[in-house]
């Protein structure tokens, strides 16, 4: 989970080309890469559908990226790890299709941009619902699994209120409301007086208020135009949404995640004991094996060449293809 921002736009064209190349490097491609669009007013959303070459229907996973201006590959202001592209390619080899998409206003979905002050969490969840219905109508797929990374995990849960799926996967998804998770991140970086100021802003936003004056150092996080989104986001928690989920679910959490603490997975497990929980030793927030300190993790955030954590793709594929999926 990263601090929210909408100003920067990232192109994922290179990531798509890379995916097509890597999967075609063998004598026969294992998957077909399709550029797809979804018309959802205003504008069109863009995504990449990766479908294994096979004779019969296959399961499909809808991959939802995390917070901020994050593209279909999982790249954003905090770096370009390419985690979702890597995961899609790894699942294709394991006979699992995926669809990943650029968030509204980002990269290929730039034409679907709306003014920042009109952006809401529910609006992003509606976009996820649109993609779920898009996949459900495609006869190539035997079952739909919703998988969200970080904030995307919560978006997937809220979308499941409106559209059905066969199973759900949380990838480094928080259990508590976003303001509490962000507050923990700030506590590790801010001096005490500024943390007190930020706590006051959080409290007012939770009450539905507009905050006109915020600490200059936190202007990017709390700018007035993004406050409607923050107020809408803070109303939800993974813990409460997961508690009512009746479909099979998988919670994946890394022990070296510095953005969403490993304890969040414990809270999710308590919220819904029916969920399968997979804890991956040494995995960080961008799903790579990395040291426990931020300095040691920077290489995994900045480049797509660092591979996914060992066992991650196998565990997800096993959950996806197993009927019933849960414990």
Residue-range definition of the domain harbouring residue 161: 13-177+236-321
| 2 pLDDT tier (thresholds 50, 70, 90) | very low
Pairing status of strand 97-101 against strand 167-171: unpaired
Residue 10: is its pLDDT beyond 70? no
Q: Residue 251: inside a domain, yes or no?
A: yes
What is the rounded average pLDDT of the residues 201-211? 96
| 323 pLDDT tier (thresholds 50, 70, 90) | low
| Whole-number pLDDT of residue 217 | 86
For the beta carbon of residue 122, count every other beta carbon within 10 angstroms.
Answer: 15
Structural domains counted in the chain: 1
Tens of pLDDT along 212-236?
988 888 988 999 999 999 999 999 9
Contact 95, 54 (CB under 8 A): yes
Q: Residue 184: inside a domain, yes or no?
A: no
Q: Residue 248: inside a domain, yes or no?
A: yes
Tens of pLDDT along 235-245?
999 999 999 99
What is the rounded average pLDDT of the residues 76-99? 95
Q: Residue 226: inside a domain, yes or no?
A: no
| Whole-number pLDDT of residue 51 | 97
Q: Is the overall model pTM greater than 0.85, yes or no?
A: yes
Q: Residue 189: inside a domain, yes or no?
A: no
Q: Residue 135: inside a domain, yes or no?
A: yes
DSSP 306: S
What DSSP string describes 47-79? EEEEEE--SS-EEEEEEE--SSS--TTS-BTTB
CATH classification of the domain holding 247: 3.40.50.1820
Residue 304: is its pLDDT beyond 90? no
Minimum mean pLDDT range among 2-11, 165-174, 237-246, 286-295: 2-11
| 324 pLDDT tier (thresholds 50, 70, 90) | low
CA distance 168 to 275: 9
Q: Residue 220: inside a domain, yes or no?
A: no
| 3 pLDDT tier (thresholds 50, 70, 90) | very low
Q: Residue 273: inside a domain, yes or no?
A: yes
Angle at 262 between CA 95 and CA 121, to 5 degrees: 75
């Amino acid at each position: 989970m990263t601090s929210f921002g909408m100003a920067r736009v990232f192109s994922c064209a290179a990531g798509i080309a890379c995916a097509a190349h890597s999967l075609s490097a063998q004598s026969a491609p294992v998957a077909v890469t399709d550029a797809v669009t979804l018309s959802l007013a205003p504008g069109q959303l863009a995504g990449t559908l990766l479908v294994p070459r096979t004779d019969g229907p296959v399961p499909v996973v809808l991959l939802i990226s995390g917070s901020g201006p994050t593209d279909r590959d999982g790249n954003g202001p905090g770096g370009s790890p390419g985690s979702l592209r890597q995961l899609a390619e790894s699942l294709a080899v394991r006979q699992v299709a995926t669809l990943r998409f650029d968030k509204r206003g980002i990269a290929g979905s730039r034409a679907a941009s709306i003014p920042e002050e009109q952006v809401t969490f529910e609006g992003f969840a509606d976009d996820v619902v649109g993609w779920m219905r898009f996949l459900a109508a495609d006869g190539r797929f035997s079952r739909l699994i919703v998988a969200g990374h970080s904030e995307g995990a919560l978006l997937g849960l809220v979308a499941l209120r409106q559209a059905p799926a066969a199973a759900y996967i949380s990838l480094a998804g928080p259990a508590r409301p976003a303001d509490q998770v962000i507050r923990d991140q700030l506590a590790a970086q801010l001096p005490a007086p500024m943390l007190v100021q930020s706590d006051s802003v959080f409290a007012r936003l939770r009450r539905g208020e507009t905050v006109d004056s915020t600490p200059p150092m936190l202007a990017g996080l709390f700018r007035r135009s993004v406050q409607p989104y923050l107020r809408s986001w803070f109303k939800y928690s993974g813990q409460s949404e997961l508690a009512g989920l009746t479909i099979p679910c998988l919670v994946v959490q890394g022990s070296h995640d510095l953005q969403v603490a490993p304890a969040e997975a414990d809270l999710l497990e308590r919220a819904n004991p029916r969920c399968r929980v997979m804890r991956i030793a040494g995995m960080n927030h961008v799903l790579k094996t990395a040291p426990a300190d931020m300095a040691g993790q920077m290489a995994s955030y900045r480049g797509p060449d660092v591979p996914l954590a060992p066992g991650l793709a196998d565990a997800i594929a096993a959950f996806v293809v197993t009927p019933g999926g849960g414990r």
